[in-house]
Each structure stands twice: as structure tokens, then as C-alpha cells.
Chain A
Amino acid sequence: MSGFWPCTAPEKPGKAALVVIDMQVDFCAPGGWVDQLGEDVSNTRSVIPAVAEALKIARGAGLAVYHTREGHKPDLSDLPANKQWRTRVHGLGIGDEGAAGRILVRGEPGFEIVQEVAALPGEAVIDKPGKSSFHATDFDARLKTVGITHLIVIGVTSDCCVQSTFRDGFERGYECVILEDCTAAVETPNHQATMDILKAYGGRWGTVSDLAGFRAAVEALHG
């Protein structure tokens, strides 16, 4: 399988991890934060079946699976003042009481991963206060402890947390792949711009592939 991995294939399936970013009620379910703001969640919802399929492939092949959730401690001690201020302009900001509990606060219903792609027992869930899964978390340490070298990054949103994790993975030396049909943004132009930027020159920070490419690459690992 040439062209899927940025440089080389992982030595064995256990060296690759599927990273599912922020498939939370607040971002991609009716009644969640984005929906309550009156924004369209059809883009973020549309990738749920593809994300579920990617999870099936990864679990079947023995890849490690990591889920992430963006949110803050109930006392908001890890929430920068400007981040809260920016979201409150919309009328319903981080930490405020909404229809699915307090917005982006750990432990609230809106913070949970949508049930279609929920974590299975034993799968790691990384709770993060920032956009990047590597910022102020033990994600990097956990990956290195078990010898993960390759990351397949999917989830929402492509322009925000998916892109941040992909870029930071590159900085830290991981070979990173995004599956284009397993990620989306709230606004389509931002998704398209993100894909154009990440694909340019064959991928400066990693590669962009899709579900079919992932399936073939995983089959090749077992070949």
C-alpha cells in the first residue's frame, strides 16, 4: 500500500493507532452546544457512519483506539479567559448551563461521545482542554509508553481539533494520516480549505487518505 503512510508502514498493527477526535454531543448531536447555537450540525453528523466504519476496521485489525473529548474542569480552572469570552458572544458560552448540561464541561451530558461511536471498555479516552490532543494532556506519554509510531486521525472538526492534532503529531515525530471522508467542519469552506492546505505538495505534515485507503493499508499490514 503505497501512498497511505507518509514514509513507511508501521512495523506491526499494534504500532498504529486510530485517534477519534471530539465526536461529542456538544459538537455533533441534536440538542448539543453547536445545535443550540442555531448552527448546522448536518456536516458533523454526516461522518458518524464513516467514523463507525473506521472504528470497526481498527478494532478488527488490532489497532489501538484513542478517543478524545474537548472540555473543561467543572470549576473552569483550565479555561483561558479569552476562550470563554469568545464563546459567550454567541449567547451560550463554555461553562454556561445549556439543554445538555454545562457547555463543554467534563461529566455533563453534552460532553459525552455520541453513542454510535462511543468508546468500548478498555479503549483510551483523552480529555483535553485545548484544540490539540497533545496540549496539556498525557496523550504523547501514553502513545510513547506503548510504542505507537503511526496515527490515523479522524473525527470533528477538521479545521479545528483534527488539524491541530495532526500538526502536533507531525511535530512530535509521528507519521500521521487523515481520512478525508471521516472528518468534517461546521462550515464546508473551512473543511475544503483545510483539506487543500493539508494535501498540498503531497502532504507536508502527513498524508490525506480515506476509508478505502485505510482498509487496504490495514489489510496490507496483515498480509
Chain B
Amino acid sequence: MADRFASVAANPYSWPFDGQWNAADSALLVLGFQNGMVAALHAEPEVKVAARLVSAVCDAGLPVIASRRGLAETLSPVAARRAAMGAGMGDPVFPPQTPEWQLAESLGLPGDAPIFDHPGDNAFYSTGLEAWLRQRGIRNLVLAGLPTEGLLHATQRAANDMGFECIAVSDACKGTTAARHSGQLRITAFGNGLFGTVARSDQIIAALSASALN
């Protein structure tokens, strides 16, 4: 196991900012790769990329954490409005335990991967995810998810405010339109990384398989 992985050639800077990431202080978050969402967004290619990432990250010894969005029994007014509009909202929310709510099998999640359930977009809100990461000393997060401007970005925004050093994987997420996907990632990287950085999966996989040169 590498003491330190090579830095990722990310936009807008070489990630992580201090060059320090290893299997003990970094994790992969895979957000909302559920059957119904994959179908709604036609995101089968992005699931394939995410699966490659899951496999590479597991080989490198990093933990993989999944999140799953589902309708909660008590809904806020706006969440209830979303639920009532269903697929008309672009990124539908599914009732727990339905086939649409299940995580895509093809993601190849390890059996011991923790799964955090949340009714909104932000996988940190009221879930215990932050405590899970802090207890293990994790400070760097690689994020993939659906949709880009929904779960992925909301979760990255929250992580960034908490001080986690984040990298969004551009080909392992998809927006409800291509313009919203690219617009949200442009905002992510603006101002030398207002919300962290962006890179393609092959750049991250290459860095994981190369130890940093000291």
C-alpha cells in the first residue's frame, strides 16, 4: 500500500492541495446510483465509470461509502411537492425498498460498504456521515453521483464547508442536462476551487496506482 498516492492533475489545481492523500485519510463517496435514477437520467455509462472507480479505490485500500435517497415518512412541504411531482422534477425520489430505490448492482459495491440514507440532496444532513468520516481521520473525499447538480453538488458543498478536501469525478456523474452538469462543475472549480476540484476518472485511477515521488 502506498504511503502517499501521486497527486491528481485536477482542475483548477493539483489535488489534494497539500499533496497528502493515502488509503487511511481518503474515501470515495458514491451518491444516489439507484436503479430509478440511473434510468431517469440514462446514466448507464456513468455507472460503468463509477464501477471502475469503486474497483480501483478498493484495490488501493480506500473505503467506499454509498448514499441512497428515498422518500421519508415525514416530508417537509417542499419535499412533499417534489414527491407529488414525481418524474416531473427531473430527478425523482423513490419510496424505500422499491426496485427503483435500490442501488445499481453493476456498481460492484463491496459488501461491507456503509450506506447512508437521506431524503434530501445532501448526504451529510442528519445522517451521521460526517462523524463516520471524522472518527476514521478521513480528510480527502472523491465524489461521484447522480445528478451532478443535485446529490453530487449539494453533498460536495456541505463537505467543503466542513473542510474536507474534495474532488468531483466529472465522468462519474451526470446532470439532468449537459449544460447543468458543466455549469455546476464550472462553479465548483471557480475562484481556484471554491468548492474543490474536478477531474476525470482515468486521472484519479492513474494517481491511485502511482506512489508519490518523495
A binds B: yes
Cβ of A85 and Cβ of B180 under 8 Å apart?
no
A41-73: which residues lie under 8 A (CB-CB) from chain B? none
B180-198: which residues lie under 8 A (CB-CB) from chain A? 180, 183-184, 186-187, 190-195
CA gap between A172 and B125 in the complex, in Å = 9
Cβ of B77 and Cβ of A8 under 8 Å apart?
yes
Assuming the A-B contacts A131-B157, A131-B160, are A87 and B192 also in contact, with contact meaning beta carbons closer than 8 angstroms in the complex? yes
Cβ of A200 and Cβ of B80 under 8 Å apart?
no
Cβ of B180 and Cβ of A197 under 8 Å apart?
yes
B interface secondary structure, majority = helix
Return the contact of A171 from the options B80, B125, B179 (Cβ within 8 A). B125
Residues on the B chain within 8 Å of A202, using CB: 85
Q: Is B18's beta carbon under 8 Å from chain A?
A: yes
Q: Is B76's beta carbon under 8 Å from chain A?
A: yes
Cβ of B179 and Cβ of A193 under 8 Å apart?
yes
Segment of B50-58, B86-94, B96-104, B109-117 in the binding face: B86-94
Cβ of A196 and Cβ of B90 under 8 Å apart?
no
Over the window 104-147 of chain B, the binary record of Cβ atoms lying under 8 Å from chain A Cβ atoms (1 yes, 0 no) is 00000000000000001110010000000000000000000000
Residues on the A chain within 8 Å of B176, using CB: 200-201
Counting contact residues on chain A (CB < 8 A from B), the size range is 35 or more
Q: Is A112's beta carbon under 8 Å from chain B?
A: no
CA gap between A152 and B179 in the complex, in Å = 26
Cβ of B192 and Cβ of A86 under 8 Å apart?
yes
Assuming the A-B contacts A173-B77, A194-B187, A196-B180, are A83 and B157 also in contact, with contact meaning beta carbons closer than 8 angstroms in the complex? no
CA gap between A101 and B76 in the complex, in Å = 42
Over the window 80-92 of chain A, the binary record of Cβ atoms lying under 8 Å from chain B Cβ atoms (1 yes, 0 no) is 1111011101100
Q: Is A38's beta carbon under 8 Å from chain B?
A: no
Cβ of B162 and Cβ of A86 under 8 Å apart?
no
Q: Is B81's beta carbon under 8 Å from chain A?
A: yes
Task: List chain B positions with a Cβ less than 8 A from chain A.
Answer: 13, 16-18, 76-82, 85, 88-91, 120-122, 125, 149-150, 154, 157-158, 160-163, 165, 176-177, 179-180, 183-184, 186-187, 190-195
Task: List chain A positions with a Cβ less than 8 A from chain B.
Answer: 6-8, 80-83, 85-87, 89-90, 130-132, 135-136, 159-160, 163-164, 167-168, 170-176, 186-187, 189-190, 192-194, 196-197, 200-202, 204-206
8 extra interface residue pairs, beta carbon distance < 8 Å, beyond A132-B158, A171-B125, A204-B90: A81-B17, A86-B192, A87-B191, A90-B192, A131-B157, A172-B76, A172-B125, A193-B180
